C-alpha cells in the first residue's frame, strides 16, 4: 500500500465517522415521527369503532431535569386541537418512567380537575370523578395509560391496552382532559407540544 492509498483510506474513515456523528445528533422526532425518548406511538389507533390519528407527542419533565413521562395525543373525526375540550373524540396515551401509586393518581386527578373547572362545576361531576378514580392501578416504569373519549359513549381508561372501565358524560370528559389541556394544565410546554401538529 502506497502513501496516497493510506491517506485516502484515512480520509474515508474520518468522513464516515463524521456522518455517523451527524446522524446521532439529529433530533429523534426527525428520524422517528412517532417516537420520543425511546417510546413509540402508533400513527393510528382504532377504539370502539372510531379511528384516531396521532397529532403530536411530547415529554413532560418534573423539576426541569427529571423525565416524568411521555405522551401522545390522538384526534378522532371532527376533533380540532385548538378546541380540544369540545365534545369530540380524542385519546391521550401516557407512558411512564417512574412508579406511581393508584392513590397518587387519585389525589392528583381530584386536585387537578378542581383547579381547572372550579368548585361549582366539580360538584356536578364529583361522582364521576370518584368512579374514574376507582379504576386506577399502580404503574411501573414502561406502563402506559390510555384515556379515550368517544361522544355518546364516555371516557375509557386502559392500562397497557387493557380497558379498566368507562365513565360516561361529555362534562366529565372535559374535566378529566383539562388536567393536561385546561387553563391550569399540569405543564404548559407539554400541552403546547401535544396540541401542535407533528412534523
At 5 the pLDDT is: 47
At 182 the pLDDT is: 97
Q: Which residue has the higher pLDDT, 166 or 12?
A: 166
Phi, psi of 42 (to 5 degrees): -65, 145
Q: How far apart are CA 177 and CA 150, in angstroms?
A: 13
At 8 the pLDDT is: 47
- Tens-place pLDDT, residues 133-171: 999 999 999 999 999 999 999 999 999 999 999 999 999
Q: Which of these ranges, 20-24, 39-43, 110-114, has the smallest mean pLDDT?
A: 20-24
Q: How far apart are CA 47 and CA 38, in angstroms?
A: 24
Strand bridging mode 90-96 / 144-150: antiparallel
At 17 the pLDDT is: 39
Q: Longest C-alpha distance within the chain, in Å? A: 85
At 166 the pLDDT is: 98
CA angle 96, 97, 102 (to 5 degrees): 50
Q: How far apart are CA 75 and CA 109, in angstroms?
A: 22
Q: What is the mean pLDDT of residues 55-82?
A: 92
| CA atoms lying within 13 Å on the CB side of residue 20 | 6
When pLDDT is cut at 50, 70 and 90, the band that residue 198 belongs to is: low
Q: How far, CA to CA in Å, does 102 sit from each of 32, 60, 89, 134, 173?
A: 32, 19, 26, 9, 20
Note the pTM of the prediction, 2 decimals: 0.81
* 170-181 and 188-195 helices, crossing angle to 10°: 110
- Does position 50 have pLDDT exceeding 70, yes or no? yes
Cell numbers 368512579: residue: 131
At 4 the pLDDT is: 43
Average pLDDT taken over every residue of the chain? 86
At 15 the pLDDT is: 37
Amino acid at each position: 500500500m502506497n502513501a496516497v492509498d493510506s491517506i485516502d483510506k484515512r480520509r474515508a474513515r474520518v468522513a464516515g465517522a463524521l456522518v455517523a456523528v451527524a446522524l446521532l445528533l439529529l433530533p429523534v422526532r426527525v428520524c422517528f415521527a412517532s417516537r420520543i425518548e425511546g417510546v413509540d406511538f402508533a400513527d393510528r389507533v382504532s377504539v370502539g369503532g372510531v379511528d384516531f390519528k396521532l397529532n403530536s407527542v411530547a415529554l413532560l419533565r418534573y423539576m426541569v431535569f427529571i423525565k416524568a413521562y411521555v405522551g401522545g395525543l390522538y384526534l378522532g373525526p371532527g376533533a380540532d386541537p385548538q378546541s380540544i375540550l369540545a365534545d369530540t373524540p380524542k385519546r391521550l396515551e401516557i407512558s411512564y418512567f417512574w412508579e406511581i401509586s393508584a392513590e397518587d393518581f387519585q389525589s392528583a386527578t381530584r386536585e387537578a380537575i378542581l383547579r381547572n373547572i372550579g368548585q361549582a362545576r366539580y360538584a356536578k361531576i364529583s361522582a364521576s370523578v370518584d368512579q374514574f378514580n376507582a379504576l386506577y392501578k399502580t404503574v411501573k416504569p414502561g406502563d402506559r395509560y390510555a384515556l379515550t373519549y368517544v361522544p355518546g359513549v364516555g371516557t375509557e381508561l386502559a392500562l397497557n391496552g387493557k380497558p379498566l372501565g368507562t365513565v360516561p358524560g361529555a362534562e366529565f370528559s372535559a374535566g378529566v382532559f383539562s388536567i393536561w389541556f385546561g387553563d391550569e394544565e399540569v405543564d404548559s410546554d407539554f400541552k403546547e407540544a401535544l396540541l401542535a401538529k407533528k412534523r
